[in-house]
Amino acid sequence: MAEQFLVPLEQYLKVGIHIGTKFRTKYMEPFIYKVRPDGLAVLNVQEIDKRIGIAAKMLSKYEPNSILVVGRRENSWKSVEMFAKATGIRALIKRYPPGILTNQDLEDFTEIKLLFATDPIPDKNAVRDAVKIGIPVIALCDTNNEANYVDLMIPCNNKGKKSLGLIFWILAKEYLRLRGIIKSDNEMKYKVDDFSDEE
């Protein structure tokens, strides 16, 4: 029986979702399928797909206003903004204002129940704040990431715009489907291309 992926395998491969970096941490070793002759690590696509599915189920247990998605690195901005537009989930791109999750006296204090980080390295302040207040963290992790504070990591290329676009499109579609807002993929009104800038 053929593997049932959330999208066709070719679609994952085309956007390079599985191409990691030359740097590999011990956290990410279990997800590395092989290392190419040029030194780039290749992630296991089955594991990526499986974890996107787990993340979608986890996200779907929360109301949109209980989730915050953060993306400090510029290559994630379009994907994160489209994800927010499609799902109603709150998004914060560019700089994370210190303390907005922990300091109730701040004007922009935000109460959430789940944090989604595009990359735990540039998004480390948001991740640390989430850990301080005891809320779960989902994060997209490349081969160079550490996952000390991450409850669920999705191994993937978290730097490529097309890779991020596909991940956030799948998560948006699955979130809407699992919450009963759409019945099938055909009802998803945004296309994958809407989620990424041309590279």
| CATH code where residue 110 lies | 3.40.50.10490
Over the stretch 100-119, which tens digit does the pLDDT of each residue have? 999 888 888 989 999 999 99
pLDDT, one tens digit per residue, over 165-176 is 999 999 999 999
Using CA atoms, how far apart are residues 150 and 131, in angstroms rounded to an integer? 9
43 domain-assigned = yes
Angstrom distance (rounded) from CA 123 to CA 105: 22
* pTM recorded for the entire structure: 0.93
Between the alpha carbon of residue 187 and those of residues 58, 163, 172, 184, 191, the distances in Å are 22, 22, 12, 6, 11
**Residue 191, in any domain of the structure:** no
Among 20, 62, 13, 64, which Cα is nearest to 41's? 20
Mean pLDDT of 145-166: 93
198: confidence class by pLDDT, cuts 50, 70, 90: low
Rounded distance, CA 65 to CA 87, Å? 10
Domain containing 93 equals 9-182
> What average pLDDT does range 114-127 have in this prediction?
94
Determine what percent of the chain is predicted with pLDDT higher than 90: 71
Residue 128 in domain = yes
Q: To which H or E segment does residue 10 belong?
A: helix 9-14
**Domain total for the chain?**
1
User: Amino acid identity of 192?
Assistant: V
Tokens 């996107």 — which residue?
Answer: 52
